[in-house]
Amino acid sequence: MSALLLSRLQFGFTIAFHIIFPSFSIGLASYLAVLEGLWLATKRDVFLRLYMFWTKIFALAFGMGVVSGVVLSYQIGTNWSVFAAKTAPVLGPLLAFEVLAAFFLEASFLGVMLFGWKRVGRKLHFAATALVAFGTLTSAFWIISANSWMQHPVSFTRDESGRFIAVDWMQVIFSPTFPSRLGHMVLAAYLTTALAVGAASAFQLLRDRTQPESRVGLRMAIGMFALVAPLQLFVGDVAGKVAATYQPAKVAALEGLWDSGRQQPFHILAWPDRDLQGNRWEISVPKMGSWLLKGDVNADIQGLKAFPRADQPFSLLMFYAFRAMVGLGVLMILLGAWGVILWLTGGPERSRAYLWSAVVMGPMGFVAVVCGWIVAEVGRQPYVVYGVLRTADAVSPIRASQVSASLLGFLIVYATVFSVGALYILRLMAAGPAVADAPPSAEGHAPGSPLGLGVEHGGEGPP
């Protein structure tokens, strides 16, 4: 294998690993801010106990997000140095703003959030939580802005050495695919978190229907499904229409459309085959494709054959990743609707079928997120900056042996970190918020010791 292919594998692997954690920490940070706010407003202990419980899980997820993110910021240079050299005058500022406006904020106030109970008042502690949440969203803003410009680069020129130079920064930052993709990603993070919260709560309720924190947690999650999942369908649809305008090859690939024309069908299932330049088989609804993508059955849509073979993205993978994402999105909508009905008719905890469904759906947000990114990124191929810089031309002058070694290292280390991290998170979830810790138990530590912890920061209650 070439350094190019190995670098793509390594980048895809490390970034897919990374995105799992931001999806969780963006959502959890906001959730924690809401919980702490509710606690301050209502003084109900349930919210505090939920806060304490989810903070522990947040700390684990956040830590894994941070370390895997640091890896990415260097990999852009180690493996994609030509990409780095050419695009830095445009993307550099966006990533620099992510560091300056988001990472420092998150990292600094995370310490206060986890270890600060004894050191700051309640209001300031709440402010720290809110700042961390704000930081995660700011981070999403800048990184999605950078990625959106790569998906559809606008407002740039090239200088003598082939570097991209920005013309109008507002247009670069708010490039056409950015608003819908940022919205889609943030909603994805909220949904993913709601599913995890719902699953952990449902799991507790399967054992003890009356567990108070889990009853609250499950209801909050159902509220999120009901609100956010339909919204996500809508925003996803907008994102698809935007992509159809700006990246026709991507959309043709994810729909498995080969011939151009009007009244395109929608393939429910198919087997796109590049060698065949067509689908081996397909199960389709006629005309539906044009309507879904352009809102008009007579709309003209380009098929993959309109693009030179070398410029066609890998349709098969995208086709199924897309269907998995959308299918899961629909299931999430159903889970929300079902939950609301149960809620209105006496409480979701009465239906074991529902609780089990919520448990099974727990990890599905992560699956949908990774599928979504596969659609977005594989659909951009063979370009790294769509239409102007090919991935093959972006790779560093390094050897395949080097990338093999580092890829092997990542596989081993990430497999360890992921399985252990997942084990610890699942263990906490299985133990549940009831045993989390009775919050304010200050005895035992000298007052003003920064941490009664070293062992359990979650155990630190407010004074």
Q: For the beta carbon of residue 431, count every other beta carbon within 10 angstroms.
A: 13
Question: Residue 303: which of other proteins, ligand HEM, ligand HDD, none does it interact with, CB under 5 to 8 A by kind?
Answer: none
Identify residues 343-372 at the interface with ligand HDD (CB under 6 A): none
Mark the segment that binds ligand HDD (CB under 6 A) among 36-44, 63-71, 204-212, 354-362: 63-71
Question: Residue 332: which of ligand HEM, ligand HDD, other proteins, none does it interact with, CB under 5 to 8 A by kind?
Answer: ligand HEM
Beta bridge partners of residue 256, listed in sequence order: none
Mark 95-134 with x for binding to ligand HDD (rule: CB under 6 A) and - for no binding: -------xx--xx---------------------------
Measure the CA–CA gap between 255 and 302, rounded to whole angstroms.
Answer: 11
Which residue, 16 or 400, is less far from ligand HDD as judged by CB?
16
Element (H, E) at 266: strand 266-273
The DSSP-derived string for 170-189 is HHHHT-TTHHHHHHHHHHHH
**Is position 166 an interface residue for other proteins (rule: CB under 8 A)?**
yes
Identify residues 108-127 at the interface with other proteins (CB under 8 A): 108-112, 114-116, 119-120
Measure the CA–CA gap between 110 and 69, rounded to whole angstroms.
Answer: 16
Structure tokens at 134: 């704000």
Question: Residue 163: which of ligand HDD, ligand HEM, other proteins, none does it interact with, CB under 5 to 8 A by kind?
Answer: other proteins
**Is position 185 an interface residue for ligand HDD (rule: CB under 6 A)?**
yes
Beta bridge partners of residue 282, listed in sequence order: 270
**Is position 390 an interface residue for other proteins (rule: CB under 8 A)?**
no
Asked if residues 380 and 374 have their Cβ atoms less than 8 Å apart, the reply is no
Given candidates 17, 21, 156, 319, which one binds ligand HDD under the rule CB under 6 A? 21
Given candidates 10, 79, 87, 136, which one binds ligand HDD under the rule CB under 6 A? 136
Measure the CA–CA gap between 139 and 21, rounded to whole angstroms.
Answer: 13
**Is position 389 an interface residue for other proteins (rule: CB under 8 A)?**
no
Q: For the beta carbon of residue 173, count every other beta carbon within 10 angstroms.
A: 19
Given candidates 155, 284, 302, 402, which one binds other proteins under the rule CB under 8 A? 402
- DSSP strand E in 290-405: where? 383-385, 389-390
- DSSP strand E in 288-446: where? 383-385, 389-390
Between the CA atoms of 83, 86, 91 and 95, what dihedral angle is there, to the nearest 10 degrees? 60
Question: Residue 59: which of ligand HDD, ligand HEM, other proteins, none does it interact with, CB under 5 to 8 A by kind?
Answer: other proteins
Phi, psi of 174 (to 5 degrees): -100, 60
Structure tokens at 23: 């999806």
Measure the CA–CA gap between 217 and 233, rounded to whole angstroms.
Answer: 24
Q: Which residues contact 200 (CB under 8 A, 6 or more apart)?
A: 214, 217, 362, 429, 432
* Alpha-carbon 268 to chain mean position: 25
**Is position 66 an interface residue for ligand HDD (rule: CB under 6 A)?**
yes
- CA–CA–CA angle 313, 169, 250 (5° rounding): 10
Min separation Cβ 411 and ligand HEM, Å: 15
* Backbone dihedral region for residue 444 (phi beyond 0: left; psi -120 to 50: alpha; all else: beta): left
Mark 61-80 with x for binding to ligand HEM (rule: CB under 6 A) and - for no binding: -------------------x
Min separation Cβ 134 and ligand HDD, Å: 11
The number of CA neighbours under 13 Å toward the Cβ of 195 is 28
Identify residues 68-87 at the interface with ligand HDD (CB under 6 A): 69-70, 72-73
Mark the segment that binds other proteins (CB under 8 A) among 72-80, 185-193, 233-241, 287-295: 72-80
**Is position 315 an interface residue for other proteins (rule: CB under 8 A)?**
no
Asked if residues 391 and 384 have their Cβ atoms less than 8 Å apart, the reply is yes
Min separation Cβ 384 and other proteins, Å: 14
Identify residues 154-193 at the interface with ligand HEM (CB under 6 A): 177, 181, 184-185, 188, 191-192
Which residue, 67 or 227, is less far from other proteins as judged by CB?
67
Contacting positions for ligand HDD (CB under 6 A): 15, 18-19, 21-22, 25-26, 62, 65-66, 69-70, 72-73, 102-103, 106-107, 136, 139-140, 143-144, 185
Contacting positions for ligand HEM (CB under 6 A): 8, 11-12, 15-16, 19, 80, 83, 143, 146-147, 150-151, 177, 181, 184-185, 188, 191-192, 232-233, 236-237, 239-240, 243, 325-326, 328-329, 332, 365, 368-369, 372-379, 381, 384, 391
